[in-house]
Amino acid sequence: MGGGGYKNPVPTVDVIIESPSAPGKVVLIQRKNPPLGWALPGGFVDQGESLASAARREAKEETGLDVELVELFHCYSHPTRDPRQHTVSTVFIGRSDGTAVGGDDAAGAGVFSLDELPELAFDHATILDDYRAYRTLGRRPPPER
């Protein structure tokens, strides 16, 4: 398998974790490594791993939660969404009712109201704005965000 000199975007996943006991709130992790800030749990897809498996693994590693993926939400691919490199993120909606604890490359974890979010890394403010609109109006974001 040769790269042929092609530079392709790197696949990533993110998970919007809802808790049935905390409606209107989502789990975020505080990043330990740059870019710093709060973020949705997620990360890079490993070779030989499906997107859904990567999403569950990353959520578990960063929050300690076993997450049930309930919906494929949207894909985000703007070339500047991650300052480190061009990534394409597949975003899932998941559910878990445990207590999130920061792990792996997360300095911490917390549950936040969609109306009182901390400073977010990457394009996660856009993702959560889109998610809020989806939960309120039932409309998904347009194909290009």
Distance between first and last Cα of the chain: 32
Cα 11 from chain centroid? 12
1: which 2 tokens?
């398998």
CA pair distance 137, 98, nearest whole angstrom: 28
In a domain, 3, yes or no: no
In a domain, 51, yes or no: yes
Tens-level pLDDT at each residue, the chain (145 residues): 555 788 999 999 999 999 888 899 999 999 999 999 999 999 999 999 999 999 999 999 999 999 999 999 999 999 999 999 999 999 999 999 889 988 878 889 999 999 999 999 999 999 999 999 999 999 999 987 6
The pTM of this model reads 0.93
In a domain, 4, yes or no: no
Domain range enclosing 15: 10-137
Which of left, alpha, beta for 79 (phi over 0: left; psi -120 to 50: alpha)? alpha
In a domain, 112, yes or no: yes
In a domain, 104, yes or no: yes
52: which 2 tokens?
């859904």
Q: Are strands 10-18 and 42-44 parallel, antiparallel or unpaired?
A: antiparallel
In a domain, 5, yes or no: no
> Taking a C-beta distance cutoff of 8 angstroms, is the pair 32, 47 a contact?
no
Q: What is the CATH number for 40? A: 3.90.79.10
In a domain, 94, yes or no: yes
118: which 2 tokens?
């901390």
Number of domains into which the chain is organized: 1
β partners of residue 75: 90
> Taking a C-beta distance cutoff of 8 angstroms, is the pair 41, 69 a contact?
no
